[in-house]
Amino acid sequence: MQLHKRDVVDAATRILDTYGIADLTMRRLARELDVSPGALYWHFTNKQRLLGAVADRVLRPALVDPPAGWRAGITDVCEKFRDALLSHTDGAELVSASLAAGQSEAMAQILALLTAAAADAGVERENAELAARTVVYYVLGFTADEQSRLQWDAAGAQLPDEQSVLSTDPNRRFMFGLRLLIDGIAAHNRAEIELL
Amino acid sequence: MQLHKRDVVDAATRILDTYGIADLTMRRLARELDVSPGALYWHFTNKQRLLGAVADRVLRPALVDPPAGWRAGITDVCEKFRDALLSHTDGAELVSASLAAGQSEAMAQILALLTAAAADAGVERENAELAARTVVYYVLGFTADEQSRLQWDAAGAQLPDEQSVLSTDPNRRFMFGLRLLIDGIAAHNRAEIELL
């Protein structure tokens, strides 16, 4: 029976959701699909490419047209981005790894949406992508931290008292940091104008 | 011969620097020290605590009194924080894990310094720690990405072309995002005043 790329990504996503990123290896995946590792390498020449394809699957629900207006656009993209990461075990860790490896097409699209929003806000062309990356680092860092706590809670691990306070109202906490970044992008624009 | 806590952290840091975080296990560490795993658990009841102690060692050089003025303070703390992370293999990944587990005393001190700076900037008490965490998520996210690229470069891995452009002038790129956050913190304060 022919092995389709899509079946490989399906199986990899199942391993991720059930066991976490540490168990997502080419060997384990080949066993799960009952094929030889060579059959996998036909579709994915290395593990980075496989992780990139799984990251694309995780991020797909975040790829919708954002609303008009750069502030609303950044907010909407980031809320959907965080929701997508939280929907899969170790989602934030997986996407962070794919960002660094430059292997996720969906991550590139999210960066492009945020870059366009920063440009709309008046950030110069050569800095708009840096602004977009700053927002992405924040979303990934916040969500990785949030997800670790959720997964430890689910595993019944004891966290220091201070940590449980941090679990309260994560949406408000997420929006606070995002608002700082949006205000910073707006201020950057003002600062440039003041220099003219 | 008695096993001191400090010797355990020394050996764990050597394993981290030489082989990376994936090889930093209690079993491997016991072998390196030529002791039974039980002897390690006397000092560290679980792996999270061990990683926290190694994170404290990594971050120690960042724990110096910041200069006067909240903007200079945030900038100085974050530059030293990033330098400390880059000084050890997988430093950003290790400290991210320790932040989520709430096990690093040094990470708590860096958060306290940044919280005090945000409060000096005029951010309300209940939000100053959120502002500090936003900055920390950015520094960890940026540096984890930077460090992955550096380590892959060192390993001779091929990265997509776009990625090599991103390796140029990382200091300027780092400062750009930090400046957005600092401007956002300043703007937050202005926005509060305008509401009065």
Burial of A176 (0-12, 13-18, 19+ CB in 10 A): middle
Asked if A112 reaches chain B (Cβ–Cβ under 8 Å), the answer is no
Q: What's the Rg (C-alpha) of chain A? A: 19
Asked if B148 reaches chain A (Cβ–Cβ under 8 Å), the answer is yes
ipTM for this prediction: 0.88
Q: Evaluate whether residue A94 is within a structural domain.
A: yes
A162 with A74, same domain: the answer is: yes
Question: Is the pLDDT reported for residue A196 higher than 50?
Answer: no
Contacts of A148 in chain B (CB under 8 A): 97, 100-101
Residue from the list A100, A176, A182 with its beta carbon closest to the beta carbon of B127: A176
pLDDT at B165: 47
B136 with B73, same domain: the answer is: yes
If we measure between CA atoms, which residue out of B130, B140, B151 comes closest to residue B107? B140
Asked if B154 reaches chain A (Cβ–Cβ under 8 Å), the answer is no
Q: For residue B193, what pLDDT band results from cuts at 50, 70 and 90?
A: low
A38 with A77, same domain: the answer is: no
Q: How far is A141 from chain B (nearest CA, A)?
A: 5
B23 with B106, same domain: the answer is: no
State the total domains in chain A.
2
Contacts of B97 in chain A (CB under 8 A): 148
A103 with A167, same domain: the answer is: yes
Q: What percent of chain A has pLDDT over 90?
A: 75
Inter-chain CB proximity A177 and B137 less than 8 Å: yes
pLDDT at A20: 94
Backbone phi, psi, residue A127, to 5°? -105, -10
Per the structure, the complete domain to which residue B16 belongs is given by 5-45
Q: Evaluate whether residue A57 is within a structural domain.
A: no
Per residue in B112-135, pLDDT (tens digit) is 999 999 999 999 988 999 999 999
Per residue in B84-113, pLDDT (tens digit) is 999 999 999 999 989 988 889 999 999 999
Contacts of A186 in chain B (CB under 8 A): 187
pLDDT at B190: 66
CATH of the domain at A26: 1.10.10.60
Residue from the list A96, A173, A184 with its beta carbon closest to the beta carbon of B181: A184
Q: What percent of chain A has pLDDT over 70?
A: 90
B90 with B143, same domain: the answer is: yes
CATH of the domain at A113: 1.10.357.10
Per residue in B159-181, pLDDT (tens digit) is 665 554 456 789 999 999 999 99
* Distances in whole angstroms, Cα of residue A44 to Cα of each of A48, A58, A108, A168, A181: 8, 17, 19, 41, 37
Per residue in A11-59, pLDDT (tens digit) is 999 999 999 999 999 999 999 999 998 889 999 999 999 999 999 999 9
